[in-house]
Structure formats: C-alpha cells, structure tokens
Amino acid sequence: MKSLRFALLGAALAGVLAAAASADTPTTITIKMVAQNNSGENGTATLTQVADGVRVAVKLDGAPTDVPQPTHIHVGNCGHINKAPEYPLANTVNGAGLATVKGVQLADLLKGTYAINVHKSTTDLATYVSCGNITAPAM
C-alpha cells in the first residue's frame, strides 16, 4: 500500500513539474526569415499558440507581386531541411501568409527541430526563397 502511495505522489509531482515547464513556454515567438538563393525575401514569422493549434503569420519584404509561394513547416534546420513538408501553411502571397496548424503545440515545435520554408512558386518548388528556424528567442 505504501509503495502505491509513493507512486501516486510521484505521478502528482511529475504533473506539477510538467505544468511548471509549460508555464515557461512562450505563447508567441517571432523568428527571422532569411532570404535564400538571392531572392531578397527577408522577414519574420510569428508563431502564436491558439486554442486549436499554432497560428503562423509570415511577413516577407521583396516578394514578387501576386505569385503564390508555397510555405510549409519542415523538419530540419535551414539549409538542411527534410524535403517533405511536415505541416503545410498557407501560400505566402505578396509577402504575407497566415495559417493555423491544427492540433499542434508551440512547445512541441520548439522541442523539435523545425524550420519554416518558403518556395519560389507552385511551379518551382525546388527553389527555396526564404527560411527561418523555429527556435525560442534568447532570454
């Protein structure tokens, strides 16, 4: 009986520690998006924890006019990303894109190795024009 009580205490303690850890996770972060392949498309992406997932707002300067640029979250770091998109986002058009990735926690994105990647166009996916690593801002 005693060991069961200790097990329950341990489980409760683990729950408290997990809650404390998640309290440290920011609810919104802004990361830098860096131009690739001489696109000139530099900017930011802001990731915000919302009730049903993570909202991602991409803003890029120097984007081409009225060209939908496919945008995804990929596993990996910029320059070394997995080619297959992990989570699709809305196309970035005229330097702006807004999407919510449903059922995802910002904390989990930060724990993993992920990057937001913008492709040149729907017909030139192989050319990457902007990328940002999803990392917590330095304290």
Give me the residues that bind Cu ion (CB under 5 A), please: 72, 85, 117
Cβ-closest residue to Cu ion? 72
Minimum CB separation of residue 101 from Cu ion in Å reads 13
Shortest Å, Cβ 59 to Cu ion: 17
Alpha helix segments (H runs only) across the chain: 2-23, 106-111
- Determine which helix (DSSP H) or strand (DSSP E) holds 52, and give its type and residue range: none
CB of 136 to Cu ion, least distance (A): 22
Of the candidates 137, 131, 18, 17, the one whose C-alpha atom is nearest the C-alpha of residue 75 is 131
Identity of the residue, 25 or 67, whose beta carbon is nearer to Cu ion in the bound complex: 67
- Rounded to whole angstroms, the Cα distance separating 64 from 94 reads 6
Residue number, 117 or 130, with CB nearest to Cu ion: 117
